[in-house]
Copies of this chain bind each other. A is one copy, B any other.
Amino acid sequence: MASIGNMHEDETGGRRTTKSVYEAILGGIRAGRWLPGGKLPSVREMGELMNVHRLTALKAYRQLADEGLVEAKYKSGYYVKTHEARAREPSLETEWDYKARSLYVNRSRLSDIHRQQVDYQMSEALIDPNLLPNAYLSNYVKQVFDLYPRVLSTYSTVLGDAELREKLGGFFLAKHGISVHPDELLITTGSQQAIDLVSRALAKPGDKALIERPTYSPAIDAFQQQGIALLPVTITPEGYDLDEVERLMKTERPRLFYMNPTYQNPTGYTVPAMQRKRLVELAERYQCLLVEDDVYHDIYFGGPPPPPLFYYDTEGYVLYIRSFSKYVAPGLRISVLAARPALMEAIAPVKALSDNGTPLLNQKIFQHYFFSKRLQEHVAKLRTALELRKTAMESSLSDTGWQWASPNGGLNLWVRLPDHLSVEELLRRALSRSLAFVPGSICDPLGGMNDWIRLSYSYLNETNIAEGIRRLVDIAEEIRSEH
């Protein structure tokens, strides 16, 4: 199995072309790292930042200037053009487009990939329905109707069903030693909704937020749609550079840090326990909320992961999003957001506006299955099945020279391709041969990481994984041999 070694350290190493620097700057502007009207780093600084010669940085700036995205000011440097300045120039965009446009950048790309009907589906981090307890669930559903004959005539409260929240409070205490009152829990329609609610309730346009690089791409969309400027924090198999996190918190004063520290999506990396404790201290010191998205917590191989950051939080700086239904019944769409009262008071009204409460039926079905003995048995088996699939994928990749850090949980491998292999070309040919994966650039708030791909091992069985990877490697070889 390939080792990632210290590869992440020189991730932006000398291979960068003008095009990739151009794209990284453009991504940074889109992500709000550099704001309209604001000064960009000097040519020299940008060269250092991107680890390229300053002539390369200059060429990238000139190209952006040619396209009217940045402007050079005499003896001052390069600036991001304001919307007003750009609006004065001819454009095809009508007023109608103003909001949807930026949103579509990532999202539509990912949906386009997911929408393809392919035989070798390694793009969606979705658990194979064959691994889910469909038949048993039907029984639980009938039980719910016997127990709550009026479940379909009743609205849930905004926070969610009281009985379910009480039971989840018990779960957090028993499983993690975290004491959380039912009124500090909000049931959401999937963790996507939790992220959206947090971004709407707790940040305002112009606020800054830290986000992992790479990250879960719909989170990029959610924060950008709120006009929040994103500052990337690189995640590696060893976690974050905490000095860099502290520097960013200190100088940029971000409102929040959106993180997925356990079997991270897309990388599978896990932030170690020691860093977790320290991150909570930093959050307190710099009054930066930590939005901890813990979607794969229960999908571990070997031993369980370190405790959530939420566990270390005594002052209420962590918002904890825990998803369960993904591995029980994804169609139910049940997640829970834990937040201390001062924050919940801001979030609950936004949930009320969004949908007035997650449907009661879904909560009750979830509750009755989740707190059953059957569920525990199911999850144990599921872990084994997923680990076998991960191993199958890794052994299929072992002779390629492609690089990744083997994850201890989750659903994905984050794989670095050899230099000069175009991911775009790989994806184009893969889709045409009924095979899908996620190009890394979608997961990068700066729009770079062009050498990386995400391969999910959760949907296909071992045989199909072996065949899918064989095909993918063949395509890569074919592209290489053409150049």
List residues of chain A with CB under 8 Å of any chain B CB.
96-100, 103-104, 107-108, 111, 126-127, 129, 132, 134-135, 137-138, 141-142, 145, 149-156, 158, 188-190, 192-193, 196, 200-202, 204-205, 218, 221-222, 225, 329-333, 342, 345-346, 349-350, 352-356, 358-362, 365
Interfacial chain B residues near A97, Cβ < 8 Å: 346
Please determine whether B141 and A154 come into contact, CB atoms closer than 8 angstroms: no
Partner of A346 from the list B96, B138, B333, B349 (CB cut-off 8 Å) is: B96
> In whole angstroms, how far apart are the Cα atoms of A430 and B111 in the complex?
52
Please determine whether B111 and A132 come into contact, CB atoms closer than 8 angstroms: no
> In whole angstroms, how far apart are the Cα atoms of A204 and B96 in the complex?
11
Interfacial chain B residues near A135, Cβ < 8 Å: 149
Q: Which B residue's beta carbon lies closest to that of A335?
A: B355
> In whole angstroms, how far apart are the Cα atoms of A97 and B361 in the complex?
33
Q: Which B residue's beta carbon lies closest to that of A349?
A: B103
Partner of A152 from the list B99, B137, B154, B202 (CB cut-off 8 Å) is: B137
Partner of A196 from the list B96, B342, B353 (CB cut-off 8 Å) is: B353
Please determine whether A345 and B100 come into contact, CB atoms closer than 8 angstroms: yes
Please determine whether A153 and B132 come into contact, CB atoms closer than 8 angstroms: yes
Interfacial chain B residues near A333, Cβ < 8 Å: 155, 355-356, 359
Please determine whether A158 and B361 come into contact, CB atoms closer than 8 angstroms: no
Closest 3 CB pairs of A and B: A129-B153, A152-B329, A100-B346
Please determine whether A355 and B189 come into contact, CB atoms closer than 8 angstroms: yes
The smallest C-beta distance from A49 to any residue of chain B, in angstroms, reads 30
Q: Which B residue's beta carbon lies closest to that of A110?
A: B352
The smallest C-beta distance from A256 to any residue of chain B, in angstroms, reads 12
The smallest C-beta distance from A381 to any residue of chain B, in angstroms, reads 15
> In whole angstroms, how far apart are the Cα atoms of A323 and B441 in the complex?
40
The smallest C-beta distance from A123 to any residue of chain B, in angstroms, reads 14
Please determine whether A349 and B153 come into contact, CB atoms closer than 8 angstroms: no
> In whole angstroms, how far apart are the Cα atoms of A287 and B238 in the complex?
55
Please determine whether A354 and B153 come into contact, CB atoms closer than 8 angstroms: no
The smallest C-beta distance from A469 to any residue of chain B, in angstroms, reads 24
Interfacial chain B residues near A349, Cβ < 8 Å: 100, 103-104, 107-108, 221, 225
Whether A155 touches B193, Cβ cut-off 8 Å, given contacts A99-B346, A108-B349, A135-B149, is no
Q: A134-B152, A141-B145 are in contact. List 19 more A-B contacts (CB 8 A).
A: A100-B345, A107-B349, A107-B352, A132-B150, A134-B153, A151-B331, A153-B330, A154-B331, A155-B330, A156-B331, A188-B355, A189-B358, A192-B352, A196-B355, A225-B349, A333-B356, A359-B359, A361-B365, A362-B362
13 A-B pairs with CB atoms under 8 Å apart are A98-B204, A103-B353, A111-B352, A141-B145, A152-B331, A152-B332, A155-B331, A192-B356, A193-B354, A196-B354, A332-B361, A333-B355, A361-B361
Partner of A329 from the list B141, B153, B201, B345 (CB cut-off 8 Å) is: B153
